[in-house]
Amino acid sequence: MKERRPAAGAVPSILKWTGSKRSQAAEIARLAPPHARYVEPFLGGGAVLYHLAGGGAAASDLYAPLIGFWRMVQAEPDHLVADYAEQWRRLRDDGPGYFYAVRERFNADKRPADLNFLMRTCVNGIVRFSQDGDFNNSFHLSRRGMLPARFAKAVQAWSARIQGVAFAARDYREALAETRAGDFVYLDPPYAGTYQRYIGGIDEAALFAALDQLNRRDVRWALSFDGRRGQTVYRAEVPPALYRRRLSLVSGYSAVAKVLNGPVETVSEALYLSW
């Protein structure tokens, strides 16, 4: 299957991350109400942050190497670009063995620049961890990684956008506890069926309780939830008392179906709005 090229003005691809909202990000950002501060507690590849990073946003994720990567984009973009260019050359010269050496190094010391390289060159760009938290996806034989010059452009565009953002590696509940009336929160938790692809998972009852707290404190939120792929529904509904509107956004094609060589299915996702 051909990869769809992003539309003009779309979020530049920087860190490949499973569950990325690149295809819906502009739409989600357009729906955002006026707000004092933007908060994104399940950051991943941060597609929506790209649009809403202005004005001192707060962005966090439980996975520390991912936050380390975003801090590099923010504070050391040239270093990140040079590191990637070197890794790209080593892969070209040394072949797949280089990928596996980086994977081993990453599992030992969690260097954020290595996470970026692995995500760009692993099978279908899918995040996958073993039970003890080791990155265990394999090398994508036909994949040589994005050309360094293109990666450099993406890093520059992103770095300029996220200068005022406060990044933190923490559980979403800690991030939500710090929100104030007038903030806007976008939540994109992992799907119920995909916990093994990320470090950590979330308990739905705890998530709903946290949303209820936001409502009581006048913090508006939007939640991507209950992924559907074809006829398969991945999770339960959000309790109706918590939200005002439910929209359905088409998010693209399933990378997982692609990996399993199943039929290519359209993925659409519900977006719940609290206001």
Helices (H), 122-203: 148-161, 172-177
188 is an interface residue for ligand SAM by CB under 6 A: yes
125 is an interface residue for ligand SAM by CB under 6 A: no
21 is an interface residue for ligand SAM by CB under 6 A: yes
- Rg for the chain (alpha carbons), in Å? 18
Q: Which residues lie closer than 8 Å to 205 by C-beta, 6 or more apart?
A: none
Q: In this complex, which beta carbon is closest to ligand SAM, that of residue 70 or of residue 98?
A: 70
Binding to ligand SAM (CB under 6 A): which residues in 36-55?
41-42, 44-47
Q: In this complex, which beta carbon is closest to ligand SAM, that of residue 28 or of residue 113?
A: 28
Binding to ligand SAM (CB under 6 A): which residues in 189-208?
189-190, 198-202
Out of 13, 14, 17, 161, name the contact with ligand SAM by CB under 6 A: 17
Minimal CA–CA distance to 166: which of 14, 55, 76? 55
Binding to ligand SAM (CB under 6 A): which residues in 132-171?
171
Tell me how far apart the alpha carbons of residues 225 and 268 are, in angstroms, rounded to a whole number: 10
Tell me how far apart the alpha carbons of residues 228 and 239 are, in angstroms, rounded to a whole number: 18
Segment near ligand SAM (CB under 6 A), from 27-35, 101-109, 183-191, 235-243?
Answer: 183-191
Please report how close the Cβ of residue 230 comes to ligand SAM at its closest, in angstroms: 19
Please report how close the Cβ of residue 206 comes to ligand SAM at its closest, in angstroms: 9
Minimal CA–CA distance to 135: which of 17, 42, 227, 3? 17
**Residues 210, 228: contact at Cβ < 8 Å?**
no
**Residues 219, 183: contact at Cβ < 8 Å?**
yes
Q: Which residues bind ligand SAM (CB under 6 A)?
A: 17, 19-21, 41-42, 44-47, 61-63, 171-172, 188-190, 198-202
